[in-house]
């Protein structure tokens, strides 16, 4: 059930000391009102302040098609109205909380809130298009309940389907400033990586964050062609980026996931950025992508760029 049943703008809260938004103009904070999604909203709000970006809070009212064995449940209009009212109330509460945070000095984002009925993926896709969203921020959930399983499944689906950058925030992530961002590359698709690195610079530059271009592999796999691609990537970046805070990291490790985790811990990385690569259907079902695997094991936010 991918059709939006109802689309409602709850309201707007205007920040003070307004000025024109930066390059990244609108950030969508997806929330289900859980503790983890509230952590993610706090993190996203502080990031929006640093980027001079405005905010759209979004809640998807889960339709029966999302719930296993939903065909056994009679879904009435009255039941949907109850969920709609609950969503309205919780969005207003979250707006108020963020507005109170925003009383600090500096840029305070304009906050809009919307709630829609439909699947999470379709609601986010429609909101991205209708509000010209540049970045989605949402929380990840620890496995346990059926609800957490469903929400984790949504984040895994969005990794391969998102049309704008997606920032996945783990539970209890501190809302501190971002100082170092690692961009993981396999040196296989230089032109695609360059596009995303330039997009990453647009995020890193306003907050003066370092970008660490990271390749994980074994020495035996580092062929002359790989070395050539490496040099080509770094040369093009240095010629076009116009940003001094870009570094390169090579780690000799047979496991991409373990290597990236090591880099994140020992290089004090605040955000890991990745681009999902296209896989055939059988490989995707059996193994998933490196990006999907990292989303399950990282203790820091994961920035996912749309696959091309």
The reported pLDDT for the residue numbered 304 is: 93
- Choose the final residue of a domain: 111, 136, 169: 169
Q: Are residues 158 and 16 in the same domain?
A: yes
What's the CA angle centered on 180, arms 179 and 181, to 5 degrees? 130
CB of 303 closer than 8 Å to CB of 167 = yes
- DSSP state at residue 306: P
Q: Is 53 left (phi over 0), alpha (psi -120 to 50) or beta?
A: beta
Of residues 22 and 278, the one with the higher pLDDT is 278
Q: Which domain holds residue 281?
A: 180-304
Beta bridge partners of 249: 214
Tens digit of each residue's pLDDT (9 = 90 or more) over 26-72: 999 999 888 888 889 999 999 998 899 999 999 988 755 455 444 44
Does one domain contain both 139 and 193? no
Highest mean pLDDT among 112-116, 143-147, 152-156, 171-175: 112-116
Nearest to 186 by CA among 229, 243, 219, 145: 229
Q: Are residues 271 and 225 in the same domain?
A: yes
* pLDDT at position 177 over 70: yes
Single residue among 169, 196, 214 that ends a domain in this structure: 169
Rounded CA gap, 265 and 68, in Å? Answer: 38
Short-list 38, 90, 3, 281, CA closest to 289 = 281
**3 and 33 Cβ atoms separated by less than 8 Å:** no
Residue 4: pLDDT above 70? no
Does 62 map to a domain?
yes
Q: How far apart are the first and last CA of the chain?
A: 26
The region of weakest confidence among 138-142, 150-154, 175-179, 194-198 is: 150-154
The reply to whether 159 and 192 lie within a common domain is no
Within-domain flag for 1? no
Q: At which of 169, 188, 222 does a domain end?
A: 169
Model confidence at 18, pLDDT cuts 50, 70, 90, reads: very low
Q: What is the pLDDT of residue 164?
A: 93
Query: In the structure, what pLDDT confidence band is assigned to residue 12 with cuts at 50, 70 and 90?
Result: very low
Task: Quote the pLDDT of residue 192.
Answer: 84
The total of structural domains in the chain comes to 2
């Amino acid at each position: 059930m991918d059709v939006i049943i109802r689309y409602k703008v709850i309201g707007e809260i205007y920040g003070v000391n307004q000025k024109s938004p930066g390059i990244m103009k609108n950030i969508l904070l997806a929330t289900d009102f859980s503790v983890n999604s509230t952590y993610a909203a706090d993190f996203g709000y502080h990031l929006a302040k640093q980027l001079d970006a405005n905010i759209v809070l979004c809640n998807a009212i889960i339709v029966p098609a999302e719930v296993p064995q939903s065909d056994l449940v009679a879904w009435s209009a009255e039941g949907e109205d109850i969920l709609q009212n609950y969503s309205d109330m919780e969005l207003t509460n979250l707006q108020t909380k963020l507005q109170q945070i925003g009383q600090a000095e500096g840029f305070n984002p304009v906050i809009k809130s919307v709630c829609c009925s439909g699947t999470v993926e379709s609601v986010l896709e429609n909101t991205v298009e209708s509000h010209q969203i540049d970045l989605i921020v949402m929380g990840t959930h620890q496995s346990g309940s059926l609800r957490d399983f469903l929400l984790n499944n949504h984040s895994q689906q969005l990794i391969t389907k998102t049309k704008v950058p997606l920032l996945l925030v783990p539970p209890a992530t501190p809302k501190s400033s971002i100082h170092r961002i690692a961009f993981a590359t396999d040196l296989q698709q230089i032109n695609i990586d360059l596009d995303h690195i330039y997009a990453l610079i647009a995020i890193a530059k306003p907050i003066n964050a370092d970008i660490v271009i990271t390749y994980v592999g074994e020495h035996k796999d580092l062929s002359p062609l790989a070395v050539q691609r490496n040099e080509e990537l770094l040369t093009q970046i240095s010629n076009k980026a116009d940003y001094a805070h870009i570094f390169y990291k090579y780690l000799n490790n047979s496991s991409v996931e373990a290597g990236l985790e090591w880099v994140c811990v020992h290089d004090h990385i605040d955000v890991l950025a990745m681009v999902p690569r296209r896989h055939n259907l059988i490989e995707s079902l059996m193994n998933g992508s490196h990006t999907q695997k990292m989303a399950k094991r990282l203790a820091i936010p994961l920035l996912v760029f749309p696959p091309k």
